[in-house]
Amino acid sequence: MGLELEWELITKTLVFLINAIGIVLIFLVYFSNPRARLNQIFVAMTFLMFIWVDFAFLARLEGQAERSLLWIRIAWAITPLLFSFIYFFVIYLIRIEKKYKLLNIFNLFLGILFIFITLFTDFIIKDIKFDTGILSIIYGKLIFLGFGTIFYLTVLSFILLLRRYFTSSEKEEKIKIKYLLIGLSLFFLMNSIFNTALPVFLRIVHLYEFGDYSTIILLSLIAYTIVKKELFGIKIIIPAVLVSLITILLGLDVAVFTTELLIRLYKGLVLIIFLYFGYLLIKSVLKEIEMRERIKKAYDVEKKAREQIEELTEAKTQFIMATQHHLRTPLTSMIGFLDLLFGGTYGKVPVKIKQALLKFESSTKRLIRVVDELLDISQFQLGKEVVSLEPGTDILPILKEVIEELQFEVEYRDLYLKLEKIGKVPKIRADSEKLKVGLFNIVDNAIKYTRKGGVIVKCQIAKDKLQIIIKDTGIGIPKGEAGKLFKEAFERGKTAKKVHGFGRGIGLYITGHIIRAHHGKIWAESEGEGKGSTFFIELPI
């Protein structure tokens, strides 16, 4: 008796599990894409499994023989059709549904044909009997046709799957097919043993049900494939799987293992509460996934924009390089011919012409400097390393060169330009070429804005820094403008605009960049307009 009760529990549990897993899968698959043919076929396939398993189960529970026969016939009637649908599931899964159209119609027709034969004739199921409580089927004359059809459909599905498995180069698809092959073969093997071989040939009928229950293997493997490999394109969220599993277990407890009504009600209530919280959990997880996808999308957009900017920057660099070449090429030959003239290649140059040529040279050099500066600005704006610092750079020769180059202009304007060295000047890390440009700009600027007096350049150590001070007796800087001098590009005071309409505001801007690239500081001080200005440059030692 105890054994019988256990047996009943096992069969009940299995039937419940098949239904529960099936229902979860139907919901999952159908609602992931209701219009996809593969998903529809899966739903139909699972429904047919329900009919088969549930009606066979009912038939065994049923005490009345006549009704039991009807349930068994229904279960048997749809079985070939179930295998037709398994075939359809396979061909849609591996996308060969359009290849064998006639075969498809024939296979569907076979399944439907057996419904009628089984339900309305006794060619398949002749009768049933209960042998000491165990249901036993008396088969009809054409039962072998039924088995044959099932066998044929299974083998066909198998061959198609196997062929795809060996020809497919997609790793993911191969894995999916592998799982399905395992599920199908176990399902078919157990069916052949318990539903065919044992009862038909050996007359062992009490294990018959195991054949029906092997559907759980196929369903579980399909479920597993969905979870692991996104079969049907379903992205499974782990919390949803857990909630489903716990729901199935709780449901199993309520439906199968609980017999007392009150406890059943209580457990049912727990199940409902659990379902509600599970629903909330899944909803929040879904929301989070959506957020994550949105973030990813935003990131992708940003990434694309950045790539475009990089492309533009690259184009800009190319443009600058080309400009650099085009501007410098004629300047090179200009300065080159001047050099030839001065070198006497064309004979001795009269003093008067030589003086004119010197001015020509000075202007050409200035133009070269402007071109260099413009290019440097572009490079700075591109964030490129324009400055390469060399240790052991002596600043005094640089300052001397600057003063020498400006001497001509200073004399012309009747100003003075002096260099004052205070104490020992240490060597620093610097890019002598760029630093010269920077210092030149400041001194040049001081001369430009001085009409009387002159400029003194001082070089000293202050607070462990090398300090260069350029003090002029020029127009000065209006209060409040001195601080802005090295921040904004090309910004100039009002008086400066009047004095030099098209002055070189660019110079200070580029100098600021150069000094900062030397990890130094630059600023200007002035008592106000008309009171001269002092420029400070501090460089680390």
Partner 1 sequence: MKKTILFIEDDLPTVEVYKIALEHAGFKVETAFSGNDGIKKIKAKAPDLILLDFLLPDIDGLEVLKEIREQKDAKDIPIFILTNYTDEKLGQKGLFLKNEKYLLKTKYTPRELVEKVKKELRLT
Residues of the shown chain interacting with partner 1 in the complex, contacts defined by CB under 8 A: 321, 324-325, 328-333, 335-337, 339-340, 343, 345, 368, 372, 375, 388
Closer by beta carbon to partner 1, 284 or else 333: 333
Residue 39 CB burial class (10 angstroms; 0-12, 13-18, ≥19): buried
Residues β-bridged to residue 17 = none
- Give the chain's count of helices (H) and strands (E): 15, 9
Residues 490 and 510 sit within 8 Å (Cβ to Cβ): no
Nearer to partner 1, 119 or 375 (CB): 375
Minimum CB separation of residue 428 from partner 1 in Å reads 21
* Measured distance CA(34)–CA(234) in Å, rounded: 12
- Smallest gap, in angstroms, from Cβ of residue 368 to partner 1? 6
Least separation, in Å, of the C-beta of 320 and partner 1? 10
Name which of 434 and 492 has its Cβ closer to partner 1: 434
Min separation Cβ 529 and partner 1, Å:
39
Here the tokens at position 203 are: 């007359």
- For partner 1, give the closer residue by CB, 264 or 429: 429
- For 424, the token pair is 């020992």
Q: How many whole angstroms separate alpha carbon 536 and alpha carbon 269?
A: 83
Identity of the residue, 368 or 419, whose beta carbon is nearer to partner 1 in the bound complex: 368
- N- to C-terminal Cα distance for the chain? 100
Task: Please list the residues that pair with 134 across neighbouring strands.
Answer: 131
Closer residue to partner 1 (CB): 86 or 377: 377
Round to whole Å and give the CA distance between 451 and 421.
25
Least distance from partner 1 to the Cβ atom of residue 340, Å: 6
Rounded CA separation 271/20 (Å): 14
Please say which residue, 195 or 378, places its beta carbon nearer to partner 1: 378
- Provide, rounded to whole angstroms, the least separation between the CB of residue 224 and partner 1: 56
Torsion of CA 294, 297, 298, 304, to 10 degrees: 180
Exposure string (b/e) for 464-479, b if CB count within 10 Å is 16 or more? eebbbbbbbbbbbbee
Segments of 108-220 assigned E as strands: 125-131, 134-139
How does DSSP classify residue 524? E
Residue nearer to partner 1 on the CB measure, 162 or 340? 340
Q: Which is nearer to partner 1, 308 or 318 (CB)?
A: 318
Q: Which amino acid is at 265?
A: L
* Nearest residue (CB) to partner 1, 388 versus 407: 388
Least distance CB 347 / partner 1 (angstroms)? 11
Q: How far is the CB of 520 from partner 1 (least distance, A)?
A: 22
Over 352-365, what HEC string results? Answer: HHHHHHHHHHHHHH
Instruction: Supply the DSSP symbol for 233.
Output: G
Strand 465-472 to strand 428-430: parallel, antiparallel, or no bridges (unpaired)? Answer: unpaired
To partner 1, the closest distance from the beta carbon of 28 in angstroms equals 57
- The answer to whether 390 and 431 are in contact (CB under 8 A) is yes
Shortest reach from residue 328's CB to partner 1, in Å: 4
Q: How near is the Cβ of 324 to partner 1 at its closest, in Å? A: 6
Least distance between partner 1 and beta carbon 351 (Å): 20
Nearest Cα to Cα of residue 472 among 489, 498, 506, 448: 448
Instruction: Using the minimum distance from each CB to partner 1, give the nearer residue, 134 or 321.
Output: 321
Q: Which two tokens stand for residue 372?
A: 């260099």
HEC string of 378-413 equals HHHHCCCCCCCCEEEECHHHHHHHHHHHHHHHHHHC
The secondary element (H helix, E strand) that includes residue 47 is helix 37-61
CB 529 within 8 A of CB 476: yes
If the CB atoms of residues 379 and 495 are measured against partner 1, the closer one turns out to be: 379
Pairing of strands 454-462, 416-421: parallel
Nearest distance from C-beta of residue 387 to partner 1, angstroms: 11
Give me the amino acid identity at 47. Answer: F
In 379-410, which positions are buried (b, 16+ CB within 10 angstroms) versus exposed (e)? bbeeeeebbebeeebebeebbeebbebbeeeb
What span, in angstroms and rounded, lies between the C-alpha atoms of 491 and 509?
9
Nearer to partner 1, 63 or 383 (CB): 383
Nearest-angstrom CA–CA distance, 375 and 361? 21
CB of 506 to partner 1, least distance (A): 18
- Rank residues 167 and 345 by Cβ distance to partner 1 and give the closer one: 345
